[in-house]
Protein backbone atom coordinates (compact mmCIF):
# COMPACT_ATOMS: atom_id res chain seq x y z
CA UNK A 1 0.00 0.00 0.00
CA UNK A 2 1.06 3.57 -0.71
CA UNK A 3 2.49 5.45 2.22
CA UNK A 4 0.30 8.49 1.45
CA UNK A 5 -3.12 9.00 -0.11
CA UNK A 6 -1.67 11.45 -2.63
CA UNK A 7 1.70 12.48 -3.96
CA UNK A 8 0.47 16.10 -3.98
CA UNK A 9 -2.43 17.76 -2.23
CA UNK A 10 -2.99 21.34 -3.36
CA UNK A 11 -5.03 23.80 -1.31
CA UNK A 12 -6.51 26.41 -3.61
CA UNK A 13 -7.56 26.04 -7.26
CA UNK A 14 -6.51 29.44 -8.53
CA UNK A 15 -4.10 30.09 -11.39
CA UNK A 16 -1.01 28.90 -9.50
CA UNK A 17 -2.67 25.89 -7.88
CA UNK A 18 -4.28 24.69 -11.11
CA UNK A 19 -1.05 24.96 -13.10
CA UNK A 20 0.98 23.20 -10.40
CA UNK A 21 -1.59 20.41 -10.05
CA UNK A 22 -1.99 19.61 -13.71
CA UNK A 23 1.76 19.73 -14.43
CA UNK A 24 2.49 17.52 -11.42
CA UNK A 25 -0.13 15.07 -12.65
CA UNK A 26 1.42 15.14 -16.12
CA UNK A 27 4.70 14.13 -14.48
CA UNK A 28 2.93 11.07 -13.09
CA UNK A 29 1.94 12.25 -9.61
CA UNK A 30 -1.35 11.36 -7.95
CA UNK A 31 -2.89 14.77 -7.27
CA UNK A 32 -5.91 16.27 -5.52
CA UNK A 33 -6.81 19.93 -5.22
CA UNK A 34 -9.20 21.38 -2.64
CA UNK A 35 -11.18 24.52 -3.42
CA UNK A 36 -13.82 25.86 -1.04
CA UNK A 37 -15.28 28.43 -3.44
CA UNK A 38 -14.92 28.18 -7.23
CA UNK A 39 -12.24 26.71 -9.48
CA UNK A 40 -10.25 29.44 -11.20
CA UNK A 41 -9.30 31.63 -8.28
CA UNK A 42 -9.26 35.41 -7.98
CA UNK A 43 -8.11 36.21 -11.51
CA UNK A 44 -10.77 34.18 -13.28
CA UNK A 45 -13.67 34.48 -10.85
CA UNK A 46 -13.44 37.94 -9.27
CA UNK A 47 -10.34 39.66 -10.59
CA UNK A 48 -8.45 40.51 -13.74
CA UNK A 49 -10.56 38.57 -16.25
CA UNK A 50 -14.07 39.85 -15.38
CA UNK A 51 -12.61 43.29 -14.63
CA UNK A 52 -11.06 43.50 -18.11
CA UNK A 53 -14.46 42.61 -19.55
CA UNK A 54 -15.98 45.52 -17.65
CA UNK A 55 -13.24 47.76 -19.05
CA UNK A 56 -14.16 46.69 -22.58
CA UNK A 57 -17.84 47.33 -21.87
CA UNK A 58 -17.19 50.77 -20.43
CA UNK A 59 -15.03 51.81 -23.40
CA UNK A 60 -18.10 51.81 -25.64
CA UNK A 61 -19.26 55.03 -23.96
CA UNK A 62 -16.18 56.84 -25.29
CA UNK A 63 -16.48 55.24 -28.72
CA UNK A 64 -20.15 56.12 -29.07
CA UNK A 65 -19.57 59.69 -27.92
CA UNK A 66 -17.47 60.57 -30.96
CA UNK A 67 -18.88 58.04 -33.45
CA UNK A 68 -20.33 60.97 -35.41
CA UNK A 69 -16.83 62.14 -36.28
CA UNK A 70 -16.30 58.77 -37.95
CA UNK A 71 -19.48 59.25 -39.97
CA UNK A 72 -21.76 57.06 -37.88
CA UNK A 73 -25.22 58.21 -36.81
CA UNK A 74 -26.29 56.31 -33.72
CA UNK A 75 -29.60 57.17 -32.07
CA UNK A 76 -31.27 56.10 -28.89
CA UNK A 77 -28.21 54.69 -27.15
CA UNK A 78 -28.55 53.65 -23.51
CA UNK A 79 -26.62 51.54 -21.07
CA UNK A 80 -27.97 48.70 -18.95
CA UNK A 81 -25.67 47.60 -16.11
CA UNK A 82 -27.50 44.32 -15.57
CA UNK A 83 -26.88 43.22 -19.16
CA UNK A 84 -23.13 43.81 -18.91
CA UNK A 85 -22.93 42.32 -15.42
CA UNK A 86 -24.80 39.17 -16.39
CA UNK A 87 -22.81 38.67 -19.60
CA UNK A 88 -19.55 38.93 -17.67
CA UNK A 89 -20.71 36.52 -14.98
CA UNK A 90 -21.90 34.00 -17.56
CA UNK A 91 -18.47 34.03 -19.13
CA UNK A 92 -16.91 33.55 -15.71
CA UNK A 93 -19.09 30.44 -15.37
CA UNK A 94 -17.80 29.22 -18.74
CA UNK A 95 -14.19 29.78 -17.75
CA UNK A 96 -14.70 28.03 -14.41
CA UNK A 97 -15.97 25.01 -16.30
CA UNK A 98 -12.92 25.00 -18.56
CA UNK A 99 -10.55 25.14 -15.59
CA UNK A 100 -12.35 22.23 -13.96
CA UNK A 101 -12.25 20.33 -17.24
CA UNK A 102 -8.50 20.92 -17.52
CA UNK A 103 -7.93 19.41 -14.09
CA UNK A 104 -10.19 16.45 -14.82
CA UNK A 105 -8.49 15.81 -18.16
CA UNK A 106 -5.19 15.52 -16.29
CA UNK A 107 -6.78 13.13 -13.75
CA UNK A 108 -6.56 15.62 -10.90
CA UNK A 109 -9.18 14.99 -8.23
CA UNK A 110 -11.17 18.12 -7.37
CA UNK A 111 -12.33 18.34 -3.75
CA UNK A 112 -15.01 21.02 -3.34
CA UNK A 113 -14.30 21.64 0.35
CA UNK A 114 -12.19 23.82 2.59
CA UNK A 115 -8.97 22.14 3.64
CA UNK A 116 -6.77 22.87 6.64
CA UNK A 117 -3.33 21.55 7.45
CA UNK A 118 -2.99 19.25 10.46
CA UNK A 119 0.65 18.27 10.04
CA UNK A 120 3.57 18.13 7.59
CA UNK A 121 1.82 15.46 5.53
CA UNK A 122 -1.84 15.67 6.60
CA UNK A 123 -4.92 17.70 5.75
CA UNK A 124 -8.42 17.77 7.21
CA UNK A 125 -11.37 18.57 4.94
CA UNK A 126 -14.47 20.46 6.06
CA UNK A 127 -16.42 17.19 5.93
CA UNK A 128 -14.09 15.78 8.57
CA UNK A 129 -12.22 13.49 6.19
CA UNK A 130 -8.49 13.21 6.86
CA UNK A 131 -6.09 12.77 3.94
CA UNK A 132 -2.34 12.43 3.71
CA UNK A 133 0.08 13.60 1.04
CA UNK A 134 3.80 13.35 0.45
CA UNK A 135 3.80 17.01 -0.55
CA UNK A 136 1.32 19.79 0.20
CA UNK A 137 1.07 22.95 -1.90
CA UNK A 138 -0.60 26.09 -0.54
CA UNK A 139 -2.01 28.27 -3.30
CA UNK A 140 -4.82 30.11 -1.50
CA UNK A 141 -4.04 33.54 -2.95
CA UNK A 142 -4.91 36.81 -1.27
CA UNK A 143 -8.04 38.52 0.03
CA UNK A 144 -9.14 42.19 0.00
CA UNK A 145 -7.69 44.07 2.97
CA UNK A 146 -10.28 46.10 4.85
CA UNK A 147 -9.45 49.06 7.10
CA UNK A 148 -11.28 49.49 10.39
CA UNK A 149 -13.70 52.36 10.89
CA UNK A 150 -17.31 52.66 12.07
CA UNK A 151 -19.69 51.62 9.32
CA UNK A 152 -17.20 49.62 7.27
CA UNK A 153 -19.85 46.89 7.06
CA UNK A 154 -21.80 49.14 4.68
CA UNK A 155 -18.92 49.13 2.18
CA UNK A 156 -18.02 46.59 -0.50
CA UNK A 157 -14.77 45.16 -1.85
CA UNK A 158 -13.74 44.16 -5.36
CA UNK A 159 -15.28 40.74 -4.62
CA UNK A 160 -18.80 42.14 -4.51
CA UNK A 161 -18.65 44.83 -7.17
CA UNK A 162 -19.15 42.32 -9.99
CA UNK A 163 -22.56 41.42 -8.58
CA UNK A 164 -24.14 44.82 -7.84
CA UNK A 165 -27.89 44.88 -8.37
CA UNK A 166 -27.73 48.39 -9.77
CA UNK A 167 -25.03 50.66 -11.15
CA UNK A 168 -24.22 53.27 -8.49
CA UNK A 169 -25.04 56.82 -9.49
CA UNK A 170 -22.34 58.02 -7.08
CA UNK A 171 -19.41 55.76 -6.25
CA UNK A 172 -16.59 56.38 -3.79
CA UNK A 173 -13.42 54.35 -4.35
CA UNK A 174 -11.00 54.13 -1.43
CA UNK A 175 -7.38 53.40 -2.35
CA UNK A 176 -4.64 54.42 -4.73
CA UNK A 177 -3.57 51.11 -6.26
CA UNK A 178 -4.35 49.50 -9.59
CA UNK A 179 -7.66 47.99 -8.42
CA UNK A 180 -8.91 51.38 -7.29
CA UNK A 181 -7.84 53.14 -10.48
CA UNK A 182 -9.33 50.51 -12.75
CA UNK A 183 -12.76 50.48 -11.13
CA UNK A 184 -12.76 54.27 -10.89
CA UNK A 185 -12.18 54.41 -14.65
CA UNK A 186 -14.80 51.78 -15.43
CA UNK A 187 -17.65 53.43 -13.54
CA UNK A 188 -16.64 56.93 -14.58
CA UNK A 189 -16.85 55.84 -18.22
CA UNK A 190 -20.25 54.23 -17.58
CA UNK A 191 -21.57 57.54 -16.28
CA UNK A 192 -21.27 57.22 -12.50
CA UNK A 193 -19.98 60.13 -10.46
CA UNK A 194 -16.72 58.82 -9.03
CA UNK A 195 -14.72 60.08 -6.07
CA UNK A 196 -11.35 58.54 -5.24
CA UNK A 197 -10.17 58.83 -1.63
CA UNK A 198 -6.48 58.23 -0.93
CA UNK A 199 -4.62 58.68 2.34
CA UNK A 200 -1.47 60.10 0.66
CA UNK A 201 -0.82 62.35 -2.32
CA UNK A 202 0.51 59.48 -4.47
CA UNK A 203 -1.31 56.80 -6.42
CA UNK A 204 0.13 53.76 -8.20
CA UNK A 205 3.33 54.01 -6.21
CA UNK A 206 5.20 51.26 -8.08
CA UNK A 207 4.80 52.91 -11.47
CA UNK A 208 6.85 55.69 -13.06
CA UNK A 209 5.84 59.03 -11.56
CA UNK A 210 5.74 60.92 -14.85
CA UNK A 211 3.41 58.33 -16.38
CA UNK A 212 1.19 58.33 -13.28
CA UNK A 213 1.01 62.13 -13.31
CA UNK A 214 -0.24 61.97 -16.91
CA UNK A 215 -2.87 59.40 -15.95
CA UNK A 216 -4.00 61.52 -13.01
CA UNK A 217 -4.33 64.60 -15.23
CA UNK A 218 -6.41 62.66 -17.77
CA UNK A 219 -8.60 61.06 -15.10
CA UNK A 220 -9.36 64.45 -13.56
CA UNK A 221 -10.15 65.79 -17.02
CA UNK A 222 -12.67 63.00 -17.42
CA UNK A 223 -14.42 64.04 -14.23
CA UNK A 224 -13.03 61.78 -11.50
CA UNK A 225 -12.79 63.67 -8.21
CA UNK A 226 -9.61 62.87 -6.26
CA UNK A 227 -9.50 63.51 -2.49
CA UNK A 228 -5.85 63.17 -1.54
CA UNK A 229 -4.59 63.09 2.06
CA UNK A 230 -8.03 61.84 3.07
CA UNK A 231 -9.31 58.92 5.08
CA UNK A 232 -12.77 57.71 5.98
CA UNK A 233 -13.69 58.45 9.58
CA UNK A 234 -17.04 56.70 9.51
CA UNK A 235 -19.85 55.63 7.17
CA UNK A 236 -23.53 55.88 8.08
CA UNK A 237 -26.41 54.44 6.11
CA UNK A 238 -29.30 56.86 5.66
CA UNK A 239 -32.97 55.90 5.61
CA UNK A 240 -33.03 56.18 1.81
CA UNK A 241 -30.21 53.64 1.52
CA UNK A 242 -27.53 56.16 0.59
CA UNK A 243 -24.25 56.27 2.47
CA UNK A 244 -23.03 59.32 4.37
CA UNK A 245 -19.21 59.27 4.36
CA UNK A 246 -17.35 61.34 6.93
CA UNK A 247 -13.92 62.34 5.61
CA UNK A 248 -13.25 64.70 8.48
CA UNK A 249 -14.65 67.77 6.75
CA UNK A 250 -17.60 69.97 7.63
CA UNK A 251 -20.11 68.00 5.59
CA UNK A 252 -20.25 64.27 4.82
CA UNK A 253 -20.07 63.03 1.25
CA UNK A 254 -23.25 61.30 0.06
CA UNK A 255 -22.77 58.28 -2.24
CA UNK A 256 -24.57 55.11 -3.27
CA UNK A 257 -21.63 52.74 -2.80
CA UNK A 258 -18.21 52.76 -1.18
CA UNK A 259 -15.67 50.42 -2.74
CA UNK A 260 -12.72 49.58 -0.49
CA UNK A 261 -9.66 48.90 -2.66
CA UNK A 262 -6.78 49.38 -0.24
CA UNK A 263 -4.77 46.31 -1.15
CA UNK A 264 -4.88 42.56 -0.63
CA UNK A 265 -3.57 40.37 2.19
CA UNK A 266 -2.23 36.80 1.90
CA UNK A 267 -5.03 34.32 2.58
CA UNK A 268 -3.41 32.32 5.38
CA UNK A 269 -5.77 32.76 8.33
CA UNK A 270 -7.25 29.54 9.63
CA UNK A 271 -5.19 27.26 7.38
CA UNK A 272 -3.59 25.47 10.33
CA UNK A 273 -0.08 26.37 9.24
CA UNK A 274 1.16 26.35 12.80
CA UNK A 275 0.46 22.60 12.97
CA UNK A 276 3.27 22.03 10.49
CA UNK A 277 5.57 24.80 11.63
CA UNK A 278 5.11 26.88 8.48
CA UNK A 279 6.71 30.27 9.08
CA UNK A 280 4.90 33.47 8.17
CA UNK A 281 6.37 36.83 7.29
CA UNK A 282 5.08 40.38 7.30
CA UNK A 283 1.35 40.68 6.79
CA UNK A 284 0.77 36.94 7.14
CA UNK A 285 2.57 35.95 3.93
CA UNK A 286 4.14 32.50 3.78
CA UNK A 287 7.92 32.58 3.64
CA UNK A 288 9.40 30.40 0.91
CA UNK A 289 12.81 29.77 -0.59
CA UNK A 290 13.73 30.10 -4.27
CA UNK A 291 12.16 26.67 -4.95
CA UNK A 292 8.84 27.62 -3.30
CA UNK A 293 9.55 25.48 -0.21
CA UNK A 294 8.31 26.71 3.17
CA UNK A 295 10.02 26.22 6.52
CA UNK A 296 8.40 22.75 6.53
CA UNK A 297 10.24 20.55 4.01
CA UNK A 298 7.11 18.82 2.70
CA UNK A 299 5.00 21.97 2.27
CA UNK A 300 5.34 24.48 -0.56
CA UNK A 301 3.53 27.68 -1.48
CA UNK A 302 3.07 29.70 -4.69
CA UNK A 303 1.25 32.82 -5.77
CA UNK A 304 -0.20 35.72 -3.81
CA UNK A 305 -0.12 33.81 -0.52
CA UNK A 306 3.67 34.26 -0.49
CA UNK A 307 5.72 37.39 0.07
CA UNK A 308 6.73 37.88 -3.56
CA UNK A 309 5.01 39.41 -6.64
CA UNK A 310 1.20 39.40 -6.62
CA UNK A 311 0.52 38.85 -10.32
CA UNK A 312 -1.34 35.99 -11.98
CA UNK A 313 1.36 35.18 -14.59
CA UNK A 314 3.92 35.01 -11.79
CA UNK A 315 1.77 32.57 -9.81
CA UNK A 316 1.41 30.40 -12.91
CA UNK A 317 5.16 30.30 -13.46
CA UNK A 318 5.80 29.54 -9.80
CA UNK A 319 3.31 26.68 -9.90
CA UNK A 320 4.88 25.24 -13.03
CA UNK A 321 8.41 25.57 -11.62
CA UNK A 322 7.32 23.85 -8.39
CA UNK A 323 5.85 20.89 -10.28
CA UNK A 324 8.90 20.54 -12.52
CA UNK A 325 11.22 20.74 -9.54
CA UNK A 326 9.45 18.30 -7.22
CA UNK A 327 7.87 15.88 -9.68
CA UNK A 328 9.63 16.40 -12.99
CA UNK A 329 13.24 16.07 -11.92
CA UNK A 330 14.00 19.49 -13.44
CA UNK A 331 14.77 21.90 -10.58
CA UNK A 332 14.27 25.50 -11.64
CA UNK A 333 13.56 28.90 -10.16
CA UNK A 334 11.80 32.07 -11.29
CA UNK A 335 13.58 35.27 -12.31
CA UNK A 336 11.60 38.15 -10.79
CA UNK A 337 13.44 40.91 -12.63
CA UNK A 338 11.84 42.90 -15.46
CA UNK A 339 8.29 41.66 -14.92
CA UNK A 340 5.89 43.73 -17.06
CA UNK A 341 2.69 44.99 -15.49
CA UNK A 342 -0.21 47.21 -16.46
CA UNK A 343 -3.07 49.23 -15.05
CA UNK A 344 -6.19 48.99 -17.17
CA UNK A 345 -7.21 52.52 -16.40
CA UNK A 346 -8.67 54.70 -19.15
CA UNK A 347 -6.35 55.16 -20.94
CA UNK A 348 -4.23 52.26 -19.68
CA UNK A 349 -0.64 52.51 -18.51
CA UNK A 350 2.07 49.87 -18.46
CA UNK A 351 5.69 49.49 -17.48
CA UNK A 352 8.61 47.09 -17.29
CA UNK A 353 11.98 47.39 -15.59
CA UNK A 354 13.16 50.30 -13.47
CA UNK A 355 11.27 53.55 -13.14
CA UNK A 356 13.22 56.75 -13.67
CA UNK A 357 13.51 57.30 -9.91
CA UNK A 358 14.72 53.71 -9.34
CA UNK A 359 17.20 53.92 -12.20
CA UNK A 360 18.76 57.15 -10.96
CA UNK A 361 19.03 55.71 -7.46
CA UNK A 362 20.70 52.53 -8.70
CA UNK A 363 22.82 53.75 -11.60
CA UNK A 364 23.17 57.47 -10.93
CA UNK A 365 23.81 58.61 -14.50
CA UNK A 366 20.97 57.64 -16.83
CA UNK A 367 19.40 58.97 -19.99
CA UNK A 368 15.68 59.33 -20.53
CA UNK A 369 14.11 59.31 -24.00
CA UNK A 370 10.46 60.25 -24.44
CA UNK A 371 7.70 60.65 -26.98
CA UNK A 372 4.79 62.89 -26.01
CA UNK A 373 2.17 62.59 -28.73
CA UNK A 374 -1.53 62.65 -29.46
CA UNK A 375 -2.63 59.24 -30.74
CA UNK A 376 -4.32 59.45 -34.13
CA UNK A 377 -7.45 57.85 -32.73
CA UNK A 378 -7.82 60.67 -30.21
CA UNK A 379 -8.16 63.24 -32.99
CA UNK A 380 -11.77 62.06 -33.36
CA UNK A 381 -12.40 62.50 -29.64
CA UNK A 382 -13.35 65.62 -27.74
CA UNK A 383 -10.66 64.75 -25.18
CA UNK A 384 -7.28 66.35 -26.07
CA UNK A 385 -5.48 63.46 -24.39
CA UNK A 386 -1.86 62.74 -25.20
CA UNK A 387 0.09 59.51 -24.92
CA UNK A 388 3.50 59.40 -23.29
CA UNK A 389 6.20 56.79 -23.86
CA UNK A 390 9.53 56.87 -22.09
CA UNK A 391 12.67 54.76 -22.13
CA UNK A 392 15.29 54.85 -19.38
CA UNK A 393 18.80 53.71 -20.33
CA UNK A 394 22.17 53.42 -18.63
CA UNK A 395 24.11 56.53 -19.69
CA UNK A 396 27.28 54.90 -21.06
CA UNK A 397 26.13 51.64 -22.62
CA UNK A 398 22.55 52.79 -23.32
CA UNK A 399 21.32 49.40 -22.12
CA UNK A 400 17.58 49.70 -21.59
CA UNK A 401 16.69 49.76 -17.90
CA UNK A 402 12.97 50.44 -18.19
CA UNK A 403 10.15 51.28 -20.59
CA UNK A 404 6.96 52.97 -19.40
CA UNK A 405 3.95 54.23 -21.29
CA UNK A 406 0.39 55.53 -21.14
CA UNK A 407 -1.99 55.62 -24.06
CA UNK A 408 -4.49 53.47 -25.96
CA UNK A 409 -3.48 49.79 -26.03
CA UNK A 410 -0.35 50.50 -23.95
CA UNK A 411 -0.33 47.00 -22.33
CA UNK A 412 -0.55 45.30 -25.73
CA UNK A 413 2.40 47.32 -27.02
CA UNK A 414 4.48 46.94 -23.87
CA UNK A 415 4.37 43.13 -23.89
CA UNK A 416 6.70 42.97 -26.89
CA UNK A 417 8.85 45.84 -25.61
CA UNK A 418 9.30 43.86 -22.39
CA UNK A 419 11.10 41.16 -24.37
CA UNK A 420 13.75 43.72 -25.34
CA UNK A 421 14.23 44.81 -21.73
CA UNK A 422 14.46 41.22 -20.52
CA UNK A 423 16.98 40.43 -23.26
CA UNK A 424 19.20 43.33 -22.18
CA UNK A 425 19.03 45.18 -25.51
CA UNK A 426 20.22 48.75 -25.99
CA UNK A 427 18.39 51.72 -27.40
CA UNK A 428 20.39 51.30 -30.60
CA UNK A 429 18.42 48.10 -31.30
CA UNK A 430 15.24 50.17 -31.30
CA UNK A 431 16.85 52.93 -33.40
CA UNK A 432 17.90 50.33 -35.97
CA UNK A 433 14.36 48.97 -36.30
CA UNK A 434 12.18 50.42 -39.06
CA UNK A 435 8.97 52.05 -37.80
CA UNK A 436 5.61 50.42 -38.52
CA UNK A 437 3.60 53.39 -39.76
CA UNK A 438 1.05 54.63 -38.91
CA UNK A 439 0.88 53.10 -35.44
CA UNK A 440 1.31 54.14 -31.84
CA UNK A 441 3.91 51.43 -31.32
CA UNK A 442 6.25 53.13 -33.79
CA UNK A 443 6.88 55.83 -31.19
CA UNK A 444 9.11 53.27 -29.43
CA UNK A 445 11.62 53.37 -32.30
CA UNK A 446 11.38 57.15 -32.67
CA UNK A 447 12.16 58.15 -29.08
CA UNK A 448 14.24 61.32 -28.69
The pTM (predicted TM-score) of the whole model is 0.95
Given pLDDT bands bounded at 50, 70 and 90, which one contains residue 1? Answer: low
Average pLDDT of the segment spanning 98-113: 95
- Cα(113)–Cα(104) distance, rounded to whole angstroms? 17
Q: What is the mean pLDDT of the chain?
A: 95
* Cα-based distances in Å from 237 to 25, 150, 154, 231: 51, 11, 7, 18
Q: Which of 374, 438, 433, 380 is nearest to 406 (CA)?
A: 374
Active site residue 437: yes
Is 90 exceeded by the pLDDT of residue 379?
no
Domain shared by 42 and 11, yes or no: yes
Query: Could you say which of 107, 320, 383, 437 is catalytic?
Result: 437
Domain identity same for 190 and 164: yes
Across 336-386, where does the E strand assignment appear?
341-343, 349-353, 366-373
Segment 233-272, tens digit of pLDDT: 999 999 888 999 999 887 899 999 999 999 999 999 999 9
Buried-state track 218-241, b at ≥16 Cβ within 10 A, e below 16:
bbeebebebbeebebeebeeeeee
- Residue 102 within any structural domain of the chain: yes
Rounded to an integer, the average pLDDT of 78-96 is: 96
| The domain boundary residue, chosen from 261, 293, 314 | 261
Residue 381's pLDDT is 80
Lowest model confidence (mean pLDDT) among 46-55, 65-74, 123-132, 259-268: 65-74
How many helices (H) and strands (E) are present in the chain, helices listed first? 10, 21
Is residue 72 located within the same domain as residue 169? no
**Are residues 157 and 125 both part of a single domain?**
no
Q: Is the residue at 336 inside a domain?
A: no
Instruction: Indicate whether 110 and 174 sit together in one domain.
Output: no
Same domain, 256 and 293: no
In a domain, 340, yes or no: no
The number of folded domains in the chain is 3
Assess whether 112 and 90 both reside in one domain.
yes
Residues 138, 279 within the same domain? yes
Q: What is the pLDDT of residues 272-313, one digit of tens each?
A: 999 999 999 988 999 999 999 999 999 999 999 998 999 999
pLDDT in tens, 144-203: 999 999 999 999 999 999 999 999 999 999 999 999 999 999 999 999 999 999 999 999
> Which domain does 242 fall in, by range?
152-261
Residues 41-45 have a mean pLDDT of 92
Q: What is the pLDDT of residue 282?
A: 84
Q: What pLDDT is recorded for position 307?
A: 81
Q: Which of 353, 347, 367 is nearest to 418 (CA)?
A: 353
Residue 372: per-residue pLDDT: 97
Partnered with residue 404 across adjacent β-strands are 351, 390
Q: Are 290 and 204 in contact (CB under 8 A)?
A: no
Amino acid sequence: MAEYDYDLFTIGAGSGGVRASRVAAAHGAKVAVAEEYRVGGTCVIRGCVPKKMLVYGSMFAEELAHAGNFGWTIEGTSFDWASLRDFVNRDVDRLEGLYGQTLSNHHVEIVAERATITGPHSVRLASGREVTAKHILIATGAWPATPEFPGVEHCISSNEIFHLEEQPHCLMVVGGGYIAMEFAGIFNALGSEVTVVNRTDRILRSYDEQIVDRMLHIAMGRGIDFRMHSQIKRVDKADDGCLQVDLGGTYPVKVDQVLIATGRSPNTEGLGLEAAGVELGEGGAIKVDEYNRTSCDSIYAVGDVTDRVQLTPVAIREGHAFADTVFGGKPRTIDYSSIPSAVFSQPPLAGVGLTEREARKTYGDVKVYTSDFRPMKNIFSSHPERGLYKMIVEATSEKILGIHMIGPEAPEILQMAAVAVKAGLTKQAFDDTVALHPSMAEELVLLK
